[in-house]
Amino acid sequence: MTKTPAKPANAIRAKPTKPRREKAAQGRMSAQPEPASEPPSGRVARAAERREAIIVAAMEEFVGRGYAATRLDDVARRAGVAKGTIYLHFKDKEALFEELIRTAIVPLVNRIVPPANPGGSVRDMIELFARAFIQEVATTQRADIIRLIVAEGPRFPAIADFYYREVVSRGLAKLRALIELGIARGELRQPELAHFPQIVVAPAIVAVIWKSLFENHSPLDALEMFRVHLDLIFGERRTT
Amino acid sequence: MTKTPAKPANAIRAKPTKPRREKAAQGRMSAQPEPASEPPSGRVARAAERREAIIVAAMEEFVGRGYAATRLDDVARRAGVAKGTIYLHFKDKEALFEELIRTAIVPLVNRIVPPANPGGSVRDMIELFARAFIQEVATTQRADIIRLIVAEGPRFPAIADFYYREVVSRGLAKLRALIELGIARGELRQPELAHFPQIVVAPAIVAVIWKSLFENHSPLDALEMFRVHLDLIFGERRTT
DNA sequence: TGACAATGACTGACCAGTCAGTCATGTTTT
DNA sequence: AAAACATGACTGACTGGTCAGTCATTGTCA
């Protein structure tokens, strides 16, 4: 995409040779076992480890500076890897970014959606659902991932699509089912709510944004806000 | 990222001087006083006009590409102005960006906050408030300004501060007053709502984000969603 | 005819992406 | 078991291009 004009290729590589000496020390002597994640010894394991490190580093950089302003040099440095290594694992900056979002989102969804709680009230189920979301996202720096998606989504349709497919439509479908169950059971008396499950999660979304932008201006108790919201939806609250 | 056409690059630094001719015509002769935004003839007026054009152009570019990816060359071209002219009006890219948000936000707030409606019900007042917001923002491309603030806010504390001060705290204060009035009048029976006025506007915020990211996946009737939400808050709806 | 607004070619810094070369690790031979 | 060899993960200097910001020159108004 980037290049239109023909590439002049490389003319005469000057002196690429450079005594690489001290660098060896930085490599791995066989004697010392690693600090944290032990010596994987297998080449593949090592590679996977580095790939992981790159993703983690890239996450921090992209979240902190946005897509365009992030330098791959910084990502490499943070990952403790040379820039070229990034390109062994990802086609280009964009591929890294998209892959990043994917690997961040999937485990997030799995952690939140599953609780297919057995026989509690619908309110309890929704509360669990939302509580998990708020605790796993709004409270942590994972909120910034959401902000990143909102910020860059329109420029990366692949990401917006993926996010819609894997998170939004799935979550809303689940929510809608719960709402319908609540209506059938008489816990909920607003049948039209099933058309707009977004209303149920709206305060959680707002909490995420609030945390990112205004937390230092005025902190927000997301969980308490959500409880009040549920009182609105389900009528008077049972004692807590 | 994306490169446009093959840029002549700096192949042969030609003669710096270039007779600028036709451009003059595009300027304004002093003779004809035009209808609308016309031959201001005054230097100051002209200057203000250009400044305005730059802001409009910058708005479109920043909204479409984000801060970092926006090129001032493009802003200049879109504004029908040379790049240097931008620097006659703004210290640098960042100053332009911040000024931009400021001038976009203020009129927006004035258009929405004012309706200090006289003696309707609280629900009517809130509905008016929110309807104005949804019609003025969620429906239009102004929604992208909000997204822009969410996206770039953390990187531009001055903007987040300004936005919090001028829009958020002001809007929430107004809303809180309305909620308290509603409680006093007995229209609202959830006193704790006054602690979280965010709940009232949450669906509108969500609508804004939805429009930006998912409108093509699944359109959302923001106004209708908000009506359902108000039913939740105020209890059963009066016929509509 | 100044004085100042406007211009756009130019510079300097910056950065995505490349690739020749290095070396730790694993494999085969002796 | 040890030495010779093969592999490919890894490195980082380098290229081609981009872009914010500058400034000498030119145009225009009062």
pLDDT tens digits for range A184-202: 999 998 999 999 999 999 9
How many CA atoms are closer than 13 Å to the CA of B180, on its beta-carbon side? 8
Question: Which position has the token pair 């987040």?
Answer: B160
Instruction: Report the 10 Å Cβ neighbour count for A104.
Output: 19
Assign B135 a pLDDT band (cuts: 50, 70, 90).
Answer: confident
Residue nearest to nucleotide C21 (CA to C1'): A17
Quick one: pLDDT at residue A236?
A: 67
CB within 8 Å: B233 and A232: yes
Lowest mean pLDDT among A201-205, A230-234, B137-141, B227-231: B137-141
Burial class (CB in 10 A: 0-12, 13-18, 19+), A204: buried
C1' of C6 to CA of B172 (Å)? 45
Quick one: pLDDT at residue B42?
A: 72
Assess A187–B contact: CB distance below 8 Å, yes or no: no
Percent of chain A with pLDDT over 70: 77
- Whether the CB-CB separation of B85 and B142 falls below 8 Å is answered with no
pLDDT, greater one: A20 or A160: A160
Residue nearest to nucleotide D25 (CA to C1'): B17
Nearest to B150 among A69, A147, A169 (CB): A147
Distance of alpha carbon A210 from alpha carbon B206, whole angstroms: 13
Name the residue ranges covered by the structural domains of chain B: 42-91, 106-234
Output the average pLDDT for chain B: 80
CB within 8 Å: B229 and A199: yes
In this prediction, residues A168-179 reach a mean pLDDT of: 92
Question: Which position has the token pair 């007995």?
Answer: B186
Any idea how long chain A is? 240
Say whether domain A42-91 belongs to CATH 1.10.10.60.
yes
Quick one: pLDDT at residue B129?
A: 81
Quick one: pLDDT at residue B116?
A: 63
Question: Which position has the token pair 């890294």?
Answer: A96
Evaluate if the CB of B14 falls below 7 Å from strand C: yes
Quick one: pLDDT at residue A128?
A: 87
Lowest mean pLDDT among A67-71, A138-142, A201-205: A138-142
In this prediction, residues B198-223 reach a mean pLDDT of: 94
Nucleotides on chain D within 7 angstroms of protein Cβ: 8-30
Closest CA to A94 of A63, A60, A70, A74: A70
Residues of A in contact with B153 (CB under 8 A): 212-213
Lowest mean pLDDT among A9-13, B111-115, B183-187: A9-13
C1' of D3 to CA of A49 (Å)? 31
Residue A15: pLDDT over 50: no
Assess A132–B contact: CB distance below 8 Å, yes or no: no
Quick one: pLDDT at residue B126?
A: 87
Model pTM? 0.81
Distance of alpha carbon A59 from alpha carbon A144, whole angstroms: 10
In this prediction, residues B56-78 reach a mean pLDDT of: 96
CB within 8 Å: A203 and B199: yes
In this prediction, residues B191-216 reach a mean pLDDT of: 95
pLDDT, greater one: B204 or A240: B204
What's the pLDDT tens digit per position in B22-66?
333 333 333 333 333 444 567 777 778 889 999 999 999 999 999
Contacts across the A-B interface (CB distance below 8 Å): 168
Query: Chain A: nearest CA to B216, how far in angstroms?
Result: 10
Quick one: pLDDT at residue A117?
A: 64
Assess B152–A contact: CB distance below 8 Å, yes or no: yes
In this prediction, residues B171-199 reach a mean pLDDT of: 93
C1' of D30 to CA of B43 (Å)? 9
Quick one: pLDDT at residue B23?
A: 32
In this prediction, residues B65-92 reach a mean pLDDT of: 96
Closest CA to A134 of A238, A227, A231, A232: A227
C1' of C1 to CA of B153 (Å)? 50
Lowest mean pLDDT among A5-9, A133-137, B55-59, B211-215: A5-9
Quick one: pLDDT at residue B95?
A: 96
The Cα-based distances of A224 to A231, A233, B204 in angstroms read: 11, 14, 20
Query: Chain A: nearest CA to B165, how far in angstroms?
Result: 9
Q: Closest residue of A to B65, CA-based?
A: A155
Residue B224: pLDDT over 80: yes
Quick one: pLDDT at residue B114?
A: 60
What's the pLDDT tens digit per position in A206-236?
999 999 999 999 999 999 999 999 999 988 6
- Cβ neighbors of B43 (< 8 A, separation 6 or more) are none
Assess B181–A contact: CB distance below 8 Å, yes or no: no
Distance of alpha carbon A200 from alpha carbon A184, whole angstroms: 17
Which architecture, in CATH terms, is A106-234? Orthogonal Bundle (1.10)
In terms of phi and psi (left: phi > 0; alpha: psi -120 to 50; beta: otherwise), the region of A188 is beta
Residue A20: pLDDT over 70: no
pLDDT, greater one: A6 or B124: B124
Task: Scan residues 174-203 of chain A and list those with Cβ within 7 Å of strand C.
Answer: none
